[in-house]
Amino acid sequence: MIDPPSLECSGLAYAYPDGHQALFGVDLTVQRGERVALLGPNGAGKTTLVLHLNGILTGGLGRVRVGGLDLGKDTVQEIRRRVGVVFQDPDDQLFMPRVRDDVAFGPANLGLRGPELEARVTRALEQVGMAEHADRPPHHLSFGQRRRVAVATVLAMEPEILVLDEPSSNLDPASRRELADIVLGLDVTVLMVTHDLPYALELCPRAAVLSGGVVVADGPTREILCDDALMTAHRLELPYGFDPARVPAR
């Protein structure tokens, strides 16, 4: 039996209460195990789309399915377990006195206790290379370390999809590389929202471009970044001197 896609968005349209239409009919399918970059200029609707994936925003038109399960009032809690969102600022997700407490928070709310909870926390911290910092206060960590702990808080929920919102922002080069190695080593579907086009090429074989509330391109990341007309039309700019055609495949 073939597994259903990790994510299916069909005809997703949404207008905010003030009348601003952010999405005009988004169609996007992500298969299990794929790593997909979601690219687009500011105001394209990327954040609005992400907030639909786990039911933070509802009330629009269209359908969201995660692992074959339709998002609705009766399924929203399970969908939120399946779709783990790592926000751009790790301090939005870290609020407990110790790292291990932050990582345990989600699974504990699901009812896990004792050795099972401890094993879940340990595994998540090991996945991001932060096990030795389990008893430290999060605010004593570097920004890059806090971002890794934020990833661990999501991994502890054993999600089907890991959504990363601008994961490379404010990271120094070493932290950027460390996070890339972590993401590449995870056995999970990844949707990465980013303006960092070299990072998208490094981590995601496929990219979708969201512009004006619709998906205007979807294909191999390298091909999209090499399409000068597409990039110009949708206000996507590569760093000076960066040539995606010359970057070796990882």
At 46-64, the pLDDT tens digits run: 999 999 998 888 878 999 9
- Summarised one tens digit per residue, pLDDT across range 111-157 is 889 999 999 999 999 999 999 999 999 999 999 999 999 999 999 99
Q: Is residue 125 part of a domain?
A: no
Cα separation, 66 vs 31, in Å, equals: 10
* Number of alpha helices (DSSP H) and beta strands (DSSP E) in the chain: 9, 10
Q: Is residue 66 part of a domain?
A: yes
Q: Is residue 136 part of a domain?
A: no
Q: Is the pLDDT of residue 160 over 70?
A: yes
Query: Can you give the residue range of the structural domain that contains 38?
Result: 7-92+162-246
Q: How many domains does the chain have?
A: 1
pTM of this structure: 0.94
Q: Is residue 15 part of a domain?
A: yes
pLDDT band at 250; cut points 50, 70, 90: low
Q: Give the CATH number for residue 177.
A: 3.40.50.300
Q: Which contacts of 40-46 are long-range, i.e. CB under 8 A and separated by 24 or more positions?
A: 40/209, 40/210, 40/211, 40/234, 40/236, 41/211, 41/234, 41/235, 41/236, 44/210, 44/211, 44/212, 44/213, 44/234, 45/210, 45/212, 45/213, 46/193, 46/210
Q: Is residue 111 part of a domain?
A: no
Q: Is residue 115 part of a domain?
A: no
Q: Is residue 123 part of a domain?
A: no
From 16, 13, 15, 14, select the one nearest 25 (Cα to Cα): 13
